[in-house]
Amino acid sequence: MKAFVLDRYAKQGALRPADIPPPDLHDDEVLVAVHAAGVNLLDAKIRSGEFKLILPYKLPLVLGHDVAGVVVKVGSRVQQFKPGDEVYARPDDFRIGAFAELIAVKESSLAAKPRGLTMEEAASIPLVGLTAWQALVEKAQLQKGQKVFIQAGSGGVGTFAIQLAKHLGATVATTTSAGNASLVKSLGADVVIDYKTQNFEDVLRDYDVVLHSQDGQALAKSLRVLKKGGRLISISGPPDPEFGKDIRAPGFVRLVMRLLSAGTRRRARKLGIGYSFLFMRAHGGQLQEITRLIEAGAIRPVIDKVFPFNATNEALAYVEAGRAKGKVVVKVV
């Protein structure tokens, strides 16, 4: 099968187009013919070697964390899916590989593709949808009437998280450029801050939840816009000891995480704020909940650009440049 392969870690390095054997199919997995694959900053970070301690992959490796396609074969223990089913998923860590013609996905991580969506639209959803769900529903337990600040509202996670937060009944603030203000407002943002001309710390007060995705400077400011008892959930770091425990990281990696997050956790404690790091995980059940919201019209996919499969490297560079509005997708079939 055709695939794009990472041979060695390198910043701005290119993936190699190659013909490789199809993936082995485990008893609890489903073999999916890839029609479209979402492209995420996580792919660029893994390619650059930034996650070697957290995700010690063996190279060569096929990247790709979002897939939509058609089932072609199922493992002996699979019960929910059959050949011909249209599905989508965020494959599990160490079983990624959507930048290819075929991928094996655990049954527990797979869901039926939302009715009414194209394959490209479906492929744009899983990683950002599960990130938003696990941050706002699972960790923050966001309630109706609460206030949430979602950074980078026009990005992949932001465009989804704004819609989910509005569905949950929250008041939503976000940052974006003036040119993207109408987009985030159309998704449900109540307070829109132009990050080029405004300091969000001067505008926001007494927020219940912050979904943080930016740098350390924004993290420090975000702690100050939360009220006592508020929650800051970061998807950009620093990782905390609880995360190290969850992934059963080696002792020295847990120590590194503890040291990296020590200052942030200390400042949060002084302010009476909860801090946690989120590295989203595959979850077919949560994806089914997201499917229901999409089919009910509560959430819509936001796609910036669709690249042909042979332009996968160009798609990755486009995402890494940080200017995409919503998601970037590679059309495989």
Domains and CATH numbers, the chain: 2-124+301-331 (3.90.180.10), 128-277 (3.40.50.720)
CA dist., res. 189 & res. 202, Å (int): 18
Confidence of residue 12 (pLDDT cuts 50, 70, 90): confident
CA dist., res. 132 & res. 143, Å (int): 14
CA dist., res. 281 & res. 131, Å (int): 8
Both structure tokens of 79: 């019960």
What's residue 53's pLDDT? 87
**pLDDT tens string 178-193:** 999 999 999 999 999 9
Phi-psi region of 84 (alpha: psi -120 to 50; beta: other; left: phi over 0): left
Q: Are strands 226-234 and 61-62 parallel, antiparallel or unpaired?
A: unpaired
CA dist., res. 179 & res. 75, Å (int): 48
Confidence of residue 268 (pLDDT cuts 50, 70, 90): very high
**pLDDT tens string 69-124:** 999 999 999 999 999 999 999 999 999 999 999 999 999 999 999 999 999 999 99
pLDDT value at 45 more than 90: yes
What's residue 90's pLDDT? 98
Residue 141, SS3 per DSSP: coil
- Kindly tell me the burial class for residue 155, based on how many C-beta atoms sit within 10 Å of its own C-beta (0-12, 13-18, 19 or more): buried
